[in-house]
Amino acid sequence: MAETINIVSPFTAQGRSIAPMHSELSVLIKDCLAESRGAQKRLYDLYAPAAYGVIKRYLYKNETDAQEILNDSFFKVLTKLDQYTFQGSFEGWIRRIVVNTITDYLRKNVKDVQPHKEVFEESAFVNSESVEKISHKELLQLVQSLPDSQRTVFNLYVFENYSHKEIANILNINENNSRWHLNDARRRLKEKINSLMK
Amino acid sequence: MENHGKFIDDLFKEELGNHTETPPPASWAALEKRLDRVPLRAPGQAYRRSMYVGVACLTAVLCLVVTKKMFFNAYADNRNAMTNNATNIKSNTTGTISKQNDNQLVNDKNEIADNDLSKAGNNSQQVNNNQTSPANKYGQNARSSAANKNNSNRKQASALALNSNGAVTSQSEGIAQQPENIYNSAGSGPSAREEANTGNKTTTPEKPNAQTPATTKKPAEIKKPIAAKQTPKTKPVFDRFELGIKAGYETGFNNDAAKKAVISPYIQYNITQRLSIMLQPSVKESFLNNIHIGNPKSYNKENADSGSVLDFTREVVPIEGEILYRTQFSYTQSHDSIVKSNTFGGTYTEYELPVLVKLGISKSFSVYGGVNIVYSKLTGVTEHTLSVNNIYVSRDSTVFTYPGQAIPRPPVSSVITYKGTDISNYTGPQYPTPTDGLIRVGYMVGFSYEYSKRWLFDALIQQANVNANTQAGYNINSTLSAPYVRFTLGYKILE
């Protein structure tokens, strides 16, 4: 059972994080700035799993594009590392780059010109006891089963805490469409969770 | 809205908010290839471009100033030369020359009295010839003097003044007199010249012009003492020694170069007004960015104090009428991850002693160059350690046994394995740290601009090569061998 050790995501607030201490991070960043390939690899190893997790929430099925976005994101991270001012979380800085790269991709690839005017706020609560039986993977698959536009809006709204206005700007859609997509995504997810419970 | 249950957004946020997924190894390989194509980022590259522009502008301004200054100096020299010519001639003619001429006049008169008419006729011819010759000479001198030339002109002009004798005073008032004035001043005039040419013997012996013999006889003898007086050889007046101090900044032309703060006293011995020898010993504090060499090595260290924590659960598994026990062992262990990497750089001190020859181009601008002897410690490689402590890992192992059979407990090492090497295999720094010093010889060329009596600005280029010392594929001596440009501000303590 020779397994490799899975490093806990440095983005994770809970659990046993091995995110380097501030001083170690400074050394690591300094080494990366000195073009040390070893340090760059270390930084990549530390932060790529979490970044890839974020990307895969948006592009679960499209492995090639997901890797390309990861590549783009870390290329930006490593070549613009001198712009990190050590103010604020380094993980947050990387995450912002990753999400921006994803949204750039989505803006080009997710088209939604159809107007959706009517927005009905639906009940978005599910039975908490039965939900516990659903595994992590199943939940991930549920999100991936959503149509592209809805999955994107849902991800940006729920995980990145963007407002509808911001989502509308990012995806070049109007705010109503964003609301409609979110509600529809919630409705679909609720239906799927309920069907899983049966 | 339902008041019970879980909000769907919260459910997904809790479950998937920290979702991680290990990217395939090919992703790093692709990224590495892409990074390889990126040109190496030079430290302070943006500043370096500005520096080059600054240096170019500064050089242009300096060239302009120096050219202007040189042109102005040349113009001033010409004006001085003109004034000096006039002054020299005036002083010479009004003093010594007139006295000598008086004596000669007396002698000449005596000689003429003893001569017969035929001799007098010959003399008159000589007068004519001699008058013509100096007149031509003066014509040249007047032109050349007007063109602000040198002492030779002044000698000729003075000689001419003697030959023309009676006109000495009027000549001395200015160089730019017409040649005709010389003839007139000789007391003969155009009519006298005609008579002499036609061989008229009656006029010359009866009324000999007292000035004519002076011009005809021994003009060269008179020239000599005057010429010697006009060009007295005086010693140049300038200070032999100059002492001062310079301080500034030095940076290299390539990415491997260090940034240096320089302080250098200097002593200068002036051989001539233009040529001097300069000693400029310097102390340089060098700052070099840390540059990584080689690949980092990963080590791990199992923590002895925590050890492994074993937990197990047992279940009965019925298989075709038989019973099997399934025992689930769960291990948890903590360890430290240690990464060793190597860099070179940091600060080091250099001492240098250049011996320079300095050549003054103008009063305030000079260039210099020479041999530079540099001493410094050899750059070494420093090992860095990055440790992440108390990393917990958990692994499971399942064992199936029949009833009554002892349950073998799988060893921890087969369940929990680590990447990298155990710390016990670490044998010390990978690269030796040199402690020796190194003397090397190079060159130094530059220029100096004195923008006030005491203050001067210097810019120079220096390089002192050293043999390559390749560690992990990187020449760590490249910092020492790189060419450097230096800008200093100097102050003359003793001028």
A197 touches B at CB < 8 Å: no
Take residue B37 and report the two structure tokens written for it: 């194509």
Q: Would you state the structure tokens that stand for residue B148, as one six-digit string?
A: 């602000």
CB contact under 8 A, B392 and A124: no
Whether A4 is in a domain gets the answer no
Last residue within a domain, chosen from A109, A138, A157: A109
From the list A3, A28, A74, the residue facing B386 with the nearest CB is A28
Q: Is B353 helix (H, G, I), strand (E, B) or coil?
A: strand
Mutate to test the interface with A, among B14, B18, B301 (most CBs of A within 10 A): B18
Who has greater pLDDT, A1 or A176? A176
Using CA coordinates, name the residue in chain B closest to A25: B386
Look at residues B97, B408, B426 and name the one whose alpha carbon lies nearest to residue B230.
Answer: B97
Q: Residue B335: its pLDDT value, please?
A: 85
State the amino acid at position B261 in one-letter form. A
Q: What is the mean pLDDT of residues B105-126?
A: 45
Which residue among B21, B26, B34 sits closest to A52, beta carbon to beta carbon?
A: B21
pLDDT category at B72 given cuts 50, 70, 90 is low
More confident residue, B171 or B86: B86
In angstroms, the Cα distances linking B346 to B288, B321, B355 are 5, 74, 29
**Entry pTM:** 0.36
Mean pLDDT on B316-324: 77
pLDDT of residue B461: 94
pLDDT of residue B359: 93
Q: Does one domain contain both A126 and A103?
A: no
Whether residues A82 and A21 fall in one domain: yes
A104 and A153 fall within a common domain: no
Tokens of A66: 């997901």
Q: How confident is the model at residue B319 (pLDDT cuts 50, 70, 90)?
A: confident
Which residues are B358's β-sheet partners?
B276, B368
Domain end residue (candidates: A77, A109, A141): A109
Please check the confidence at residue B131 and state whether its pLDDT lies above 50: no
| Rounded average pLDDT over A166-183 | 84
Cα–Cα distances (Å) from B127 to B189, B197, B199, B273, in that order, read 12, 10, 12, 47
| Pairing state between β B241-252 and B259-270 | antiparallel
User: Are residues B226 and B159 in contact, defined by beta-carbon separation less than 8 angstroms?
Assistant: yes
Whether residue A176 is contained in a domain is answered as yes
Q: Are residues A103 and A42 located together in one domain of the fold?
A: yes
Q: What are the C-alpha distances in Å from B68 to residues B81, B451, B487? A: 20, 13, 23
Q: Which residue has the higher pLDDT, B473 or A25?
A: A25
Cβ contact (<8 Å) for B292 and A136? Answer: no
For chain B, percent of residues with pLDDT exceeding 70: 57
Indicate whether A148 belongs to any domain: yes
pLDDT at B46 over 70: no
Is A175 contained in some domain?
A: yes
* Chain A residues in contact with B289 (beta carbon < 8 A): 34
Q: Are residues A97 and A68 in the same domain?
A: yes
Answer yes or no: do A21 and A100 share one domain: yes
In a domain, A152, yes or no: yes
At A58-109, the pLDDT tens digits run 887 778 888 999 999 999 998 888 888 777 788 888 988 998 898 888 877 7
How many domains does chain A divide into?
Answer: 2
User: Is the same domain home to A85 and A126?
Assistant: no
ipTM comes to 0.77
Q: Answer yes or no: do B343 and A31 touch at CB < 8 A.
A: yes
Is pLDDT of B99 > 50? no
Is the distance from CB of B375 to CB of B350 less than 8 angstroms? yes
Identity (one letter) of the amino acid at A39?
A
Closest partner residue to A139 among B15, B23, B38, by Cβ?
B15
Q: Report the share of chain A in percent with pLDDT over 70.
A: 79
Contact A75 B27 (CB under 8 A): no
- Does one domain contain both A132 and A163? yes
**CATH, residue A41:** 1.10.1740.10
Q: Which helix (H) or strand (E) holds B442?
A: strand B437-450
Indicate whether A116 belongs to any domain: no
Which spans in chain A are helix H?
22-33, 37-58, 63-79, 90-109, 128-131, 136-144, 148-154, 164-171, 175-197
Q: Is pLDDT of B226 > 70?
A: no
Residues A159 and A82 in one domain: no
Query: At which residue do the structure tokens 């006729």 appear?
Result: B121
The reply to whether A91 and A158 lie within a common domain is no
Q: Which helix (H) or strand (E) holds B125?
A: helix B117-146
Q: Could you tell me the CATH number of the domain that includes residue A169? A: 1.10.10.10
For residue A111, give the 3-state DSSP assignment: coil
If asked whether residues A100 and A51 sit together in one domain, one would say yes
Taking an 8 Å cut-off on Cβ atoms, the answer to whether A2 and B417 are in contact is yes
Residue B308 sits at φ, ψ, to 5 deg, of -115, 140
Q: Considering only B31-45, B218-232, B293-307, B409-423, which range has the smallest mean pLDDT? A: B218-232
Which range in A124-128, A131-135, B280-284, B396-400 is most confidently predicted, on average pLDDT? Answer: B280-284
The strand pair at B282-302 and B421-422 is best described as parallel
| pLDDT beyond 70 at B264 | yes
In a domain, A7, yes or no: no
Last residue of a domain, one of A109, A130, A156: A109
Minimum mean pLDDT among B11-20, B116-125, B253-262, B423-432: which range?
B116-125
Q: How far is B411 from chain A (nearest CA, A)?
A: 11
State mean pLDDT over B104-128. 45
What pLDDT was estimated at residue B336? 87
Neighbours of A58 (CB within 10 A): 26
Domain housing A87? 12-109
Please judge whether B20 and A190 are an interchain contact, meaning their C-beta atoms are less than 8 angstroms apart: no
And the tokens for B147? 């063109």
Give the pLDDT confidence score for residue B347 in this predicted structure.
85
CB contacts of B6 in chain A (<8 Å) are: 125-128, 131
Q: Is the pLDDT of residue B106 over 50?
A: no
Token pair recorded at residue A99: 């999400």
Instruction: Give the pLDDT of residue B310.
Output: 63
User: Is A127 touching B (CB cutoff 8 A)?
Assistant: yes
The 10s digit of each residue's pLDDT in A135-173 is: 888 888 888 888 888 888 888 888 888 888 888 888 888
Residue A45 lies in a domain: yes
Quick one: average pLDDT of B352-362?
A: 93
On chain A, the residues whose CB falls within 8 A of the CB of B418 are: 5
Are B124 and B212 in contact by the 8 Å Cβ rule? The answer is yes
- Rounded to an integer, the average pLDDT of B283-299 is 85
A23 and A103 in a common domain: yes
Residues 6 or more apart in contact with residue A121 via CB below 8 angstroms? A183
Using the 8-state DSSP alphabet, how is residue B253 labeled?
S
| Cβ–Cβ below 8 Å for A35 and B7 | no
Residue that wins the pLDDT comparison between B127 and B494: B494
Q: How many CB atoms lie within 10 A of CB B171?
A: 23
